[in-house]
Structure 1
């Protein structure tokens, strides 16, 4: 499917492409010449969404909102302006104006003219009530439904207002433009200003109500969180008073420090005890039993004094440990140690001289070590007792600490909740004071009439009709699967093409006058195409003589081609026999009025031989319901054809179409070559697929197609 073919279709229908747009332009002119002038009024509303100067108190520290968020905000505002309740406000005000003002915006409709004073008063009452409450008119109430009909008759209803109303954001600015187009400049300005004011009032009221609800909610929330925080704080305070707790952390820290100190002292005392025990054991090994008995007997009275002093020192040391090593006991302990040392020296001085007197120093050391051992031993006992008391005090603080920590954790959570609620309250309260940023910055005013669009509409009507015609022709061309050119026939059938014939203009074709002199100019191209086909047939026959002309259906041009070929061959001094084998439609027989017929010749009737004498002879048929093989058997018919081949240079047979099944195929048995005529502007039918397959399986007998009535240029 080539573009050039489509242009051919357009050129073929050029008259249609001229007449239809011209008629459309004329009709459009009469339709639009009486159209009233149109007036457009516009207003601008500042939203404060993009304007940073309106966000000084609530400026977002993270930066301005993203483009998508801005688009969502503007879309939300525009959709609010398109709400039915706001458009209804315009309808109510327009109708109230026309009912009360002596200069209405529009000429009263028929329904408006029928209203009496009482009906007008009732209508005004209902409209004013609905306007004040922002309510729609009910279709179920008779009076209100009548007002709906009245609004529609005046074209003040919601649907008609929306048709001429335009609301859009001005590019990337902070402004929203509202415009309305009508036949009255005052009406356009009125609609825009009413919608703008109603939108601002509705939006302001809605935002304020939402903000007040949010502030009230947050005020109650802050109060509840503060009361919860105070309650938990008082609970902790009362618990500490009840259990005598000042500061658990300091108390536990003090106990821990004392415990660590006592542990250190205990380790030191245990180290002293172990060293003293070792030293005493070493000294005891140096004494024998007799000497020890002697020493103990001689110093008995001094030992008693030492024992008393040791007991006093033990008691004082115990007090010193219990008092957490209070320094005031230190002097007394030092005094007792000095007395004990003096008593030990006296004991050493009173030793009785004997052979063992050299060991007096060891005795004194042993006694001193025993005293130190006893001091360390008693000190460890006192420290263990003090550690036991400290552990008991620490264990007593553990449940208090857990309870206090629970109180403190709850207080921390309550404090955070209170702080968050207070922050949100402050932010919301601050924003509510500066939240309404939508304002009308430019009111709509009556303006001059818009430039006339009548000429544009007329031209547009013509262009649209032309485009529509082109589209329709293209659809016809695109879905048209008929064959118009030789190449299309070859592509559709897969069989070769031998030639084509042009369309012969005029009325019905008289075959007897087809080659007359008076038709010479008319038939010039046709005769040249016949000559071309004749040449191609000669190349195909290659000495053979029997040529069959068939087609897929009736009335495709077989008769014209057969007669034309016969006449063309006679022009080159060929002796031609034209056989009319189409029993169903014997056009050749009816035209030529032959004396010899197929039914007689192929019945072996020798009387008919002498009739075949001129250059062109025609063998017709009687047009009966009969087939060739019903006339005679195949062998006899073949012998007859052999006799004809001797007498004639070329034998042309017009057969019935292939749609007649065997009636055509019986003739094709005796043909050397076969031509098939196909009329252009037809498509290949599904039922003809079998006939095409038959032609392909003729083993070279099929020479090719002759496309009849082809739409080709005159090249001669």
Structure 2
């Protein structure tokens, strides 16, 4: 069955790992404060341009721009603001090419220069301006907030004043470039009209001056009541002047259309002709051109999207050219018709003049001069109006772009935001501390509490022995042999824990037969010898006659521990006088007898399986109240399996927060195959402070509740009293 993590378990984990969580949180906040102290603040200034597409002139009347066209126009204008031409003007005007901020060498460039110098490829930086331009572009932000008709321009710099200065410079450069483009949108047509206007003005002045001079020279004056023929001549003269004006206007229109087609000024061409077809084509062509400019900045020239939009632009240009030529053909037809009408009227006028029998040729000459002056004046006024209209259309659209917000030097840095950094650091460090705590709990494959031992191994924890402190290990002897601490330190937490274990294992009746207790572990260095030696000394000090046997023949330790304060005796009590009898060490401090390894007649690990060792154990049962066998590790010393299987009970020692759960489980499975009688677990080397924080241990060596009676004898449990022995294992 899968284990579920309850709220109480989560709270216990948080309580157990609170120091780690607090440490990670404090470290994260300290790192955030250090970041705020060391990082260079950056300031961002913003300017805003207002774009009014409702006044964008697409025909003779103002009309609104559609949503799709508006988005394309805005994208094109944003790309124009960040175009290299405008940015390079700003860099040169503000002397930013030598700005330290833009000329700062990055780590990548330093590494590249170092590698080039190492391999002999060092060369002058020929693309300095291009690199500065690219860095400047990255610091400049241009956008269309919320798809409004505003263009926001912002620049980020280390200096607040410089950020405002550069932002305003970019905005002004864009406006100036936009004005220049509008003024130069119809250069050929405007130049031709201006030249034609000057020529017509001079022609009108000369013809009018000639008429006035002729009138003054011949002393001619006009009175009312002219003759009928004079009135007829005047009407013909007016018709001739009107026809000449129409002819000249038609010719001027043809010339202007021809010039606009030649210069490809499709916008002015559509405005002048007031053609719906040309207006639609012009709008589509403008949108395609804007899209082409935008894609050319972000994509390579050979990109499929760029080629596609270029093909669309070329197709629209060809359609506009064809439509314009058709209109030009119509205008030429009208021009020829006007010219033929003028010639017809002129012929009638000449016939009328030649047929008049008048004695005053001066009057006829004066009328002709006045007619020429009136015709030249009408033509001049027509061209003057056309020139003014052209110039107005060239400059009028600049009003569509207006600077509505001037960038100001900011008082607070845009980066880093102290509040955001501290909040993110607090949330991130807290999340990291919690995550690390749960990860460590998940990866923790050791035993930290008695409940863990009972849940995993299904065995009761008989005692929890704390780790010896430096204060308890006083003197060189105890630091060298901490297993003898029971003989010198009786009031320590460790001594209380061993005493509790001894009481739990004591026979219920004094005349009960002696017991053989094996003490083992899964691997070396888990406190097995420490537990066996301490339990043997405690039992001996409590009045029992105890024999401690060193059954770890591969790594014997008991001789080195006890021989300093012991005397050697034989098993039958005689002093050493023969070679066939195994020798014992009698500890003078506790009265404990020790049978060291390698002391038997077999003088090897085979001694544990010999008949002599079996006879020794049989004799010891009659002599001693308790026999404790310190065996080798179960998983690495198979020579100890025989004595373990013959023991009346086995204590399984686990090192706190060190013995892996899978290793302990594998060792218990091995004991199960040996039919060993595992009576419980001793949790050795525990950190009582941490275990008390986990609400598992009340005091050193004593667990929360007493274990249930086992065969009339009482053990000690740490809250896992309900744990039952493993199947196949027997109670002691």
Equivalent residue of 2:152, what SS?
Answer: strand
Residue 480 of structure 1, CA deviation? 3.9
User: 1:285 maps to which residue?
Assistant: none
Cα deviation digits, residues 424-480 of structure 1 (max 9, x gap):
xxxxxxxx9999996344243333432696966995797599559737954555544
Do structure 1's residue 575 and structure 2's residue 545 form an aligned pair? yes
Cα deviation digits, residues 659-705 of structure 1 (max 9, x gap):
43322213213212112212123253877775342023343612233
Do structure 1's residue 646 and structure 2's residue 622 form an aligned pair? yes
Q: Distance in 2 between matches of 1:619 and 1:678?
A: 24
* Contact kept in structure 2, 1:583 and 1:625, CA below 8 Å: no
* Contact kept in structure 2, 1:675 and 1:704, CA below 8 Å: yes
Residue 543 of structure 1, CA deviation? 6.5
* Contact kept in structure 1, 2:608 and 2:643, CA below 8 Å: no
- Choose the corresponding residue for 1:530, options 486, 498, 508: 498
User: 1:191 maps to which residue?
Assistant: 166
User: 1:715 maps to which residue?
Assistant: 698
Residue 502 of structure 1, CA deviation? 1.4
Equivalent residue of 2:95, what SS?
Answer: helix
- Choose the corresponding residue for 1:678, options 651, 654, 657: 654
Q: How many matched pairs?
A: 461
User: 2:46 maps to which residue?
Assistant: 42
Equivalent residue of 2:86, what SS?
Answer: helix
Do structure 1's residue 502 and structure 2's residue 502 form an aligned pair? no
Structure 2 gaps, min length 5: 106-121, 186-264, 268-281, 290-312, 329-393, 474-478, 700-732
User: 1:587 maps to which residue?
Assistant: 557
* Contact kept in structure 2, 1:581 and 1:656, CA below 8 Å: yes
Q: Which has the larger radius of gyration?
A: 1
User: 1:450 maps to which residue?
Assistant: 412
Residue 561 of structure 1, CA deviation? 0.7
Residue 80 of structure 1, CA deviation? 2.7
Q: Distance in 1 between matches of 2:74 and 2:556?
A: 81
User: 1:666 maps to which residue?
Assistant: 642
Residue 643 of structure 1, CA deviation? 2.3
Q: Distance in 1 between matches of 2:601 and 2:555?
A: 10
Equivalent residue of 1:652, what SS?
Answer: strand
Q: Structure 1 residues 631 and 695 mapped into 2: Cα distance closer, same or farther (>3 Å)?
A: closer
Equivalent residue of 1:658, what SS?
Answer: coil
Q: Structure 1 residues 532 and 49 mapped into 2: Cα distance closer, same or farther (>3 Å)?
A: farther
- Choose the corresponding residue for 2:534, options 564, 569, 588: 564
Q: Structure 1 residues 161 and 457 mapped into 2: Cα distance closer, same or farther (>3 Å)?
A: farther
Q: Distance in 1 between matches of 2:631 and 2:70?
A: 79
Q: Structure 1 residues 478 and 687 mapped into 2: Cα distance closer, same or farther (>3 Å)?
A: closer
Q: Distance in 1 between matches of 2:559 and 2:123?
A: 87
Give the alignment of 1:360-399 within 5 angstroms. Answer: none
* Contact kept in structure 1, 2:551 and 2:629, CA below 8 Å: yes
Q: Structure 1 residues 473 and 531 mapped into 2: Cα distance closer, same or farther (>3 Å)?
A: same
User: 1:388 maps to which residue?
Assistant: none
Give the alignment of 1:298-447 within 5 angstroms. Answer: 439-447=401-409
User: 1:702 maps to which residue?
Assistant: 678
Do structure 1's residue 97 and structure 2's residue 94 form an aligned pair? yes
* Contact kept in structure 2, 1:499 and 1:707, CA below 8 Å: yes
- Choose the corresponding residue for 1:548, options 518, 532, 537: 518
Cα deviation digits, residues 104-156 of structure 1 (max 9, x gap):
97799799xxxxxxxxxxxxxxxxxxxxxxxxxxxx9978524346x3xxxxx
* Contact kept in structure 1, 2:55 and 2:63, CA below 8 Å: no
More helix per residue: 1 or 2?
1
Give the alignment of 1:174-213 within 5 angstroms. Answer: 174-196=149-171, 210-211=285-286
Which sits farther off after the overlay, 2-11 or 656-665?
Answer: 2-11
Residue 7 of structure 1, CA deviation? 3.8
Q: Distance in 2 between matches of 1:456 and 1:45?
A: 31
Q: Distance in 1 between matches of 2:100 and 2:531?
A: 76
* Contact kept in structure 2, 1:40 and 1:182, CA below 8 Å: yes
Give the alignment of 1:227-266 within 5 angstroms. Answer: none
Q: Structure 1 residues 604 and 448 mapped into 2: Cα distance closer, same or farther (>3 Å)?
A: closer
Q: Distance in 1 between matches of 2:434 and 2:630?
A: 43
Q: Distance in 2 between matches of 1:99 and 1:180?
A: 13
Q: Distance in 2 between matches of 1:632 and 1:74?
A: 97
Q: Distance in 1 between matches of 2:572 and 2:92?
A: 96
Q: Structure 1 residues 454 and 571 mapped into 2: Cα distance closer, same or farther (>3 Å)?
A: same
User: 1:515 maps to which residue?
Assistant: 486
Residue 557 of structure 1, CA deviation? 0.8
Cα deviation digits, residues 256-305 of structure 1 (max 9, x gap):
xxxxxxxxxxxxxxxxxxxxxxxxxxxxxxxxxxxxxxxxxxxxxxxxxx
Cα deviation digits, residues 18-41 of structure 1 (max 9, x gap):
885686477557635xx57x5432
* Contact kept in structure 2, 1:40 and 1:450, CA below 8 Å: no
Equivalent residue of 2:618, what SS?
Answer: helix
Q: Structure 1 residues 189 and 207 mapped into 2: Cα distance closer, same or farther (>3 Å)?
A: farther
CA RMSD across the alignment: 5.7
